Structure 1
Amino acid sequence: MMRRTTKNRLTEWWWTIDRPMLLVLVLMLFAGLVLSMAASPAVAERIGLDSFHFVKRHAMFIPVAIAIMIGITFLEARAIRRLALLVLVGSLIGMVLTLLFGFSAKGAQRWVSIAGFSLQPSEFLKPAFVVLAAWLFAENDRRPEIPGNLFAIILLMVAGALLVAQPDIGQTILLGAVWSGLFFMAGMPLFWIFLLLGLGMVGLTAAYMFLPHVNGRINRFLDPATGDTFQVDKAMDSIIRGGWLGTGPGEGMVKRILPDSHTDFIFAVLAEEFGIIVCLVLVGAYIFIVVRSLMLALRSHDLFKRLAIAGLAILFGLQAVINIAVNLQLMPAKGMTLPFISYGGSSLLSVALGMGFLLALTRRRPEVGQRNDN
Structure 2
Amino acid sequence: MINVQFFPSKRIAFYMARLFLVRSFAVLAALVLILMTLDLLGESGKILAKPGNGDAELWRYVSLRVPMLIARFLPFSVLLGTLITLAALNQHSEIIAMKAAGISAHQIIAPLIVASVGVAAISFAFNERIVTRSAAALGAWEAVEYGPVPPQSRVSSNVWVRNGEDLIVARQVSGTGESMLLRGITIYRRASGTLENIVKAESGRRVPGGWRLSEAGDFVVDEGRTIRAPVYLYRSELEPDQFSLARVDPDEQDFGRLSQSIADLEVAGRPTAALEANLWHKFSGPLSAVLMPLLAAIAAFGLARSGHLFLRAIAGMGLGFAYFVADNFAIAMGNYGAYPPSLAAWGPFALFLLVGETVLIRTEE
Q: TM-score normalised to the size of structure 1?
A: 0.26
Q: TM-score, normalised by structure 2?
A: 0.26
> Which structure has the bigger radius of gyration?
2
The higher relative CO (CA closer than 8 Å, separation ≥ 6) is in 1
Which structure is higher in strand share?
2
